[in-house]
């Protein structure tokens, strides 16, 4: 029996999140008048595409990446809750793509939210990835943490202005 929040479904959601993130960061890049902010949106847009490709490759080679659930129901409530939140993140991103942010600070705060959700979800997914393939996901998690740091530093700079 396939669960809607299987590792495969989380990878599908991750592909969508990265696609939406790329689109959102592209829009933000075009709208910001601050060069430092614009450069960060451009960098994050490019990173989202790299991550999307990584998750798509994982999904395409799912048998090589995901540890199969041995007994029905083994896939925990924790990962189900995380996946539910991640679907909400996709919906929020779709909404934000069609709206504009009141300020660069508001956009950076939303970027922080997206990166935190990604780190949480990818870290939970890690348990269901085969040991030899975990470094692929680990690399994405490290990069997401770097994005979080860059956004936090930028938020601090914006608040000082």
Is 98 among the domain residues? yes
Over residues 109-120, the pLDDT tens digits come to 999 999 999 998
Encode pLDDT of 50-89 as tens digits.
999 999 998 898 777 777 554 555 556 677 777 777 888 8
Query: Is 81 within a domain?
Result: yes
Q: Does a structural domain hold residue 139?
A: yes
How much is the pTM? 0.84
Count of the separate structural domains present in the chain: 1
Both tokens of 18, joined, read: 């990265």
Gap between the Cα atoms of 62 and 35, Å rounded: 40
In a domain, 1, yes or no: no
Residue 1: pLDDT band by 50, 70, 90 thresholds?
very low
Tell me the CATH number at 124: 1.20.1260.10
For residue 105, which of 44, 158, 33, 27 has the smallest C-alpha distance? 158
43 belongs to a structural domain: yes
- Domain membership of residue 68 (yes or no) is yes
């Amino acid at each position: 029996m396939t669960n809607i929040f299987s590792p495969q479904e989380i990878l599908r959601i991750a592909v969508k999140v990265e696609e939406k993130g790329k689109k959102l960061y592209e829009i933000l890049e075009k709208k910001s008048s601050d060069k430092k902010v614009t450069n960060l949106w451009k960098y994050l847009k490019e990173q989202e595409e790299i991550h999307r490709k990584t998750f798509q490759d994982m999904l395409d080679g799912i048998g090589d990446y995901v540890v199969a659930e041995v007994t029905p129901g083994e896939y925990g409530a924790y990962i189900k809750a995380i996946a539910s939140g991640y679907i909400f993140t996709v919906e929020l991103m779709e909404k934000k793509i069609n709206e504009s942010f009141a300020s660069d600070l508001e956009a950076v705060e939303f970027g922080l939210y997206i990166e935190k959700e990604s780190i949480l979800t990818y870290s939970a997914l890690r348990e269901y990835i085969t040991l030899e393939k975990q470094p692929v996901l680990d690399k994405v998690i490290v990069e997401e943490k770097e994005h979080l740091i860059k956004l936090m530093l930028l938020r601090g700079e914006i608040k000082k202005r």
